[in-house]
Amino acid sequence: MSRILVLSIIAASLLACPRPRPMFDGGEEMDAGMEVDAGRPRGDDPTNGWQTAVELPMFATAAATTHLGVQLASAGDQFGQPLIAGVFEDPNGDGLYDDNRVVFTRWDGVARAFTMLKTVEVIGGGAADDTRPSRQVSIARDATTGRIAIAYIKPQDNTVRIAVSDDEAANFSLSTVSDVPRAALMSNPSLALAGGNAHLAWIQGSELMYRKRLGAATTWTDVPAGAIVVNGNSVSLALDADGNAGIAFFVNAGLNMADLAYWHPPAQAAVAVSGNMIDLSIARERAPSVSLTFVGNVPHVAYHLRTVEPLATNDNTTELSYAKADSAAAATWTVIPIPRNGSATTFHTTRWYQSIFIEPTGRVNIAANFGANGAQSNCGGPKLSRAADGMNFMTCAPVGYPTQFAGEWISMWSHRPGKLTIIFAYDAPTGSRSNAMLKPGIAMWREP
C-alpha cells in the first residue's frame, strides 16, 4: 500500500472521529464554522449541557481558603459565547487575602477551550463569604463598538475600578471611577455599555452613586438625584432601548422594613416597586438582592426579599419574586411570587443571587441560587423558573442537573433564540469539592 494511500486513510479516520465533549453533554454540539466579526473568528461554540467551564487550579490539593469565581460576572460576546470575570481568592493558599485578584477568561472558538486566566488586577481584600449578597464584579460588552469592560471593587484602597479593552480582551487599561480617598465603603458596582457610552452605579457607604461616561470622554460625570440612601447590599443597573440607565435597589422603609425601589435618571425621585417587606439583612441567609432588565423601555426585575406574610402560610412561594412595570414611567408594578418548585411534594427555597432574561417571545426566565437548608430531595439547583406568558412560572433545575445546592453569583443570557446559557460559581466559597460530576470553579450550563 502506498504512503499516500495510508496517509489518506488516516486523515479520513481522524475527520470521522467524534469531537471530545464534557461529561455532562446535554445535546448536540453547535458547529458554528469560521464566521468572523470585528476581526475575531467565531470558531466552534461551547458544547451544550453541563460542564466545568474553568476548574479551580489543582483543586484536589488547593487550600480551603482558595476559591475561583468569587463575585463572578459573565455576559455573552458577539457570538453569544461567554465572557467571564471574577475574583480568584487566596490563589497561593496561605490563608491570607492580600493576593486576591480579578481574573478574566473567555471562550476561544478556534481553540475550542476557555482562555488561560488573565489577571486584571491584584485587589486584596478578605474572604467573600462575609459579603453575601454583594456582587463586587460586573462585566459588560458594547454591541456597537465591541468594547469589553469590567467594573470591580479594589478593597486595598477602597476604590471602584474599571478595566477597558478595545482589542477583544487581549489587553485592558485600568482606571479609577470613584473619588479617592473615600472613608465610606465602596461596594456592588453595576456596569452597562451601549452606543459608545458607559454607565456605572455602586453603593458608597449607604448612598447610591451613578456616573456615566459619554463617547470619547475620559472623565465620568455624576448624575445627582439628591441623597438616595440604600438599605442592603445590592444594586442593579441596566439600559433601556434608548440607551438610558435604570437602577434598582433597596431603600429603608422603617424599622426592619424595606422597599424595592427603581430610579430612572435624571428623574429626581425613585419609585417603589414593592413595599411592606421584611428586610432580613441582619441574617445573611436572607439578605435582599435584585436584578434589573428592560423590554424596550419598560423595566422588569427579579429579586429576593421576604414578604411580611409568614412562610408557614405562604408555602408555595419563596423570597424570590418577579415584578414588571406597567409602562416606561414605572408608576405601578405587577408583582408575581415565584413558586419554589414545579412539584408540590417538597419545596426548595432560593437566596442571595438571581438573574433575569426575557426573550423576544415574552418568555421570562429567572435563574437563582438554590440555598435551602434541609435535605435535597428533588429538582436540585440552581433553580430555573420560566413563564411563557410572563405570569405562570414553573420552577426546577436545568435538565440533568449534577448539583444540589448551587448557583452563587449566577448570570444568564441567550446564546441563540430560545436557548439559555447559565454560569455560576461552584465551590465559591463554601461548596463541596467531592462532587465527582462537576469540579469546583466556574460551572456552565448551555441549553441544547
Write the pLDDT tens digit of every residue in 399-431.
888 887 889 999 999 999 999 999 999 986 656
Tell how far CA 155 is from the center of its chain. 20
pLDDT top residue among 29 and 236: 236
Cis peptide before 224 (omega within 30 of 0): no
Say what the pLDDT of residue 30 is.
Answer: 37
Q: Which fold has domain 25-446?
A: Neuraminidase (2.120.10)
| pLDDT for residue 19 is more than 60 | no
| pLDDT for residue 319 is more than 50 | yes
SS3 7: helix
Say what the pLDDT of residue 226 is.
Answer: 66
Q: How confident is the model at residue 313 (pLDDT cuts 50, 70, 90)?
A: very low
Among the residue ranges 33-37, 104-108, 110-114, 159-163, the one predicted with the least confidence is: 33-37
Phi, psi (deg, nearest 5) at residue 14: -65, -40
| Environment class of 112 (CB within 10 Å of its CB; exposed 0-12, middle 13-18, buried 19+) | middle
| pLDDT for residue 6 is more than 90 | no
Say what the pLDDT of residue 26 is.
Answer: 34
Cβ neighbours, 10 Å, residue 343: 15
Q: How confident is the model at residue 145 (pLDDT cuts 50, 70, 90)?
A: very high
Number of H helices, E strands in the chain: 1, 32
Grid cell listed for 217: 470622554
Phi, psi (deg, nearest 5) at residue 125: 110, -155
The residue behind cell 423595566 is 299
Average pLDDT over residues 323-330: 96
Say what the pLDDT of residue 311 is.
Answer: 44
For residues 220 and 200, the answer to whether their CB atoms sit within 8 Å is yes
| Maximum mean pLDDT: which of 23-37, 56-70, 75-89, 182-196 | 75-89
pLDDT top residue among 347 and 316: 347
Average pLDDT over residues 217-246: 89
**String of DSSP letters for 318-370:** EEEEEEEESSTT--SEEEEEEES-S-SSS---EEEEEEEEE-TT--EEEEEEE
| pLDDT for residue 25 is more than 50 | no
Average pLDDT over residues 254-269: 81
Say what the pLDDT of residue 18 is.
Answer: 34
Average pLDDT over residues 222-249: 90
Say what the pLDDT of residue 78 is.
Answer: 96
Average pLDDT, whole number, for the chain?
84
Q: Which residues pair with 173 in a beta bridge?
A: 164
Tell how far CA 320 is from the center of its chain. 16
How confident is the model over 356-408, as pLDDT tens digits? 999 999 999 999 998 764 455 567 889 999 999 999 999 888 888 888 788 99
- For residues 391 and 436, what is the distance between their CA atoms, to the nearest angstrom? 37
Q: How confident is the model at residue 34 (pLDDT cuts 50, 70, 90)?
A: very low
Say what the pLDDT of residue 144 is.
Answer: 95
Longest dimension (CA), the chain: 88
How confident is the model over 104-136, as pLDDT tens digits? 999 999 999 999 999 999 999 988 766 778 999
